[in-house]
Amino acid sequence: MGSKAYWGGQAVKIILRALIGRSFVDLRNTLPASANTDTASIISFFVFIAIFLPLPLIPPEKLQLPFKITFVMITATMFGMLGWAMHAADGPGALIHAPATQRGAALGWGAVYGLQSIVGSQASGCLGQSDWTRYARTPNAALFGQLVAAPVFIVVTAVCGILITSAAATIYGEYIWNPFELLLAIQDRSLAPAARAGTFFAGLGFLVSQLALCQMLNGISTGMDMAALCPKWINIRRGCYILTVIAIAICPWNYVTNPGTFITVLSGWSVFLSPMTAIVICDYSLVRRGPRYRLSDLYRGDPSSAYWYVAGFNPRAFLAWIAGMAPLLPGFARAVRGTSSGSGWDHIYQISYFYGFGATFVAYWALFAVWPMAGQKDVSPCQRHKARFG
């Protein structure tokens, strides 16, 4: 949530610069260079947090209409920026016509890492799908969104981003991959009424988008997890507010202001989340062979439950997660430090989502095969009764 809140703050900064004008654009920075941010960004960040705080008060099942409105606004923002960039540059821009800078294996691994970065940026949403599909009216209600809508819009968004960046390079002479930075660059060069109006509405679209992402992908998902762990003390709303405090405490501007670090952080989610996703899928599809769970035991927090494991923790899951995650850490650390040199560790990291998922999936299945759990494929008495009598 920290990175999303930071970029939400940048959206607020764009809006404030458009509304206030030169006095906010030229606001004196009172922070040292080591802070990795500036005064205007800090002010905007906390304004975003203040705007976000009431959202956890809205029940999750009431968010469908706000999310539809958000989708329309961010889609209009994306195509609006695309139309402006293509018109101002008289075409798709410099990047589209530039010759390739990589050849051979370097080009191949670069393409793989690009695919991995896209998949990694969606890792959190993939893992947390059940937080939202639980509200579906039918078991297949989520299929269209997962199989059609999500892949199509991910590809369309990526293509639009490339075209906007390419056209902006023709306009400004530099590649600006981050849409927030591009809007700020427009304001740095011009505060004419048209520029202020355009950046205001674009910033507004990104603001509501970041609010929705913070609430949907982070706040509610984390709140549900915390409520499941400590239901006596924490509910979804409190869990969301706890996460908000953590998002502020980690000072997210330290790891997202550099473009290279920004992409590394996005793809780095794969290191930790792809093994978790593999565990969930393997447990359901192979270990349990479908929905074969003892439902009554899911609500027992003592050793009588089939899912108590060892003091409430599943050691097989931890071991499988480590098996899939640990080999990725050297390459991840080298990527963050900027010392990657094309070694074996670097290549493993470049396929981190696929490696982490596959290795963890196999490890989790193997651990249950050699170390089976009592009742792992059993069902509750009520389920047996339903299967027998319908």
Residues 125, 115: one domain? Answer: yes
Residue 209 and residue 73 share a domain: yes
Q: What are the residues facing 310 on neighbouring strands?
A: 313
Length of the chain: 390
**pLDDT tier, 290 (very low <50, low <70, confident <90, very high otherwise):** low
Burial profile 319-345: b = 16 or more Cβ within 10 angstroms, e = fewer: bbbebbbebbeebbebbeeeebeeeeb
User: Structural domain tally of the chain?
Assistant: 2
Could you tell me if 139 and 287 lie in one domain?
A: no
- Tell me: do 253 and 263 sit in the same domain: no
Reported in sequence order, the residue ranges of 218-343 that DSSP labels E, i.e. its strands, are none
Domain that holds residue 309: 258-390
Q: What percent of the chain has pLDDT over 90?
A: 32
Q: 10, exposed or middle or buried, with CB in 10 Å at 0-12, 13-18, 19+?
A: buried
Q: Is it the case that residue 84 has pLDDT exceeding 50?
A: yes
Do 91 and 136 have their domain in common?
A: yes
> How do residues 329-379 score in pLDDT, each as one tens digit?
888 888 777 777 777 888 888 888 889 999 999 999 999 889 887 665 555
DSSP letter (8 states) at residue 390: -
Most confident of 88-97, 127-136, 310-319: 310-319
Residue 109: its pLDDT value, please?
A: 80
pLDDT of residue 265: 66
Residues 102 and 232 in one domain: yes
Mean pLDDT of the chain: 84
- What is the structure's pLDDT at 263? 61
Q: Are 316 and 367 in contact (CB under 8 A)?
A: yes
Contacts of 263 (CB under 8 A, 6+ apart): 117
Let me know whether 170 and 26 are in one domain. yes
Query: Is 24 in the same domain as 93?
Result: yes
Answer yes or no: are the C-beta atoms of 309 and 330 closer than 8 Å. no
pTM of the predicted structure, to 2 decimals: 0.79
- Residue ending a domain, among 209, 235, 257, is 257
State phi, psi for 310 to the nearest 5 degrees. Answer: -115, 105
Is 70 exceeded by the pLDDT of residue 266? no
Give the pLDDT band of residue 75 (cuts 50, 70, 90).
very high
Of 201, 169, 26, 8, give the one whose Cα is nearest residue 95: 169
**Given this model, what pLDDT does residue 210 score?**
94
Q: Which residue type sits at 383?
A: Q
Q: What does the pLDDT read at residue 319?
A: 95
Which of 257, 286, 308 marks a domain boundary? 257
| 316, two tokens | 């097989």
Which of 238, 257, 276 finishes a domain? 257
Amino acid residing at 363: A
Mean pLDDT of 146-167: 88
- In this predicted structure, the answer to whether residue 134 has a pLDDT above a threshold of 80 is no
With beta carbons less than 8 A apart as the criterion, state whether 382 and 296 touch: yes
Measure the N-to-C terminal CA separation of the chain; round to a whole number of Å.
45
Q: Which two tokens stand for residue 366?
A: 């193997």
pLDDT band at 258 (very low <50, low <70, confident <90, very high): low
Domain identity same for 329 and 207: no
Q: Tell me if 204 sits within 8 A of 73, measured CB to CB.
A: yes
The per-residue DSSP string of 91-104 comes to SS-HHHHSPPS--H
- Section 235-251 average pLDDT: 90
One domain, residues 227 and 334: no
CB 127 within 8 A of CB 273: yes
**pLDDT given at position 291:** 63
**Co-location of 271 and 235 in the same domain:** no
Whether 188 and 294 map to the same domain: the answer is no
In terms of C-beta density within 10 A (0-12 exposed, 13-18 middle, 19 or more buried), how is residue 299 classed? exposed
Question: In this model, does residue 389 exceed pLDDT 50?
Answer: no
pLDDT in tens, 178-221: 899 999 999 988 888 999 999 999 999 999 999 998 888 788 88
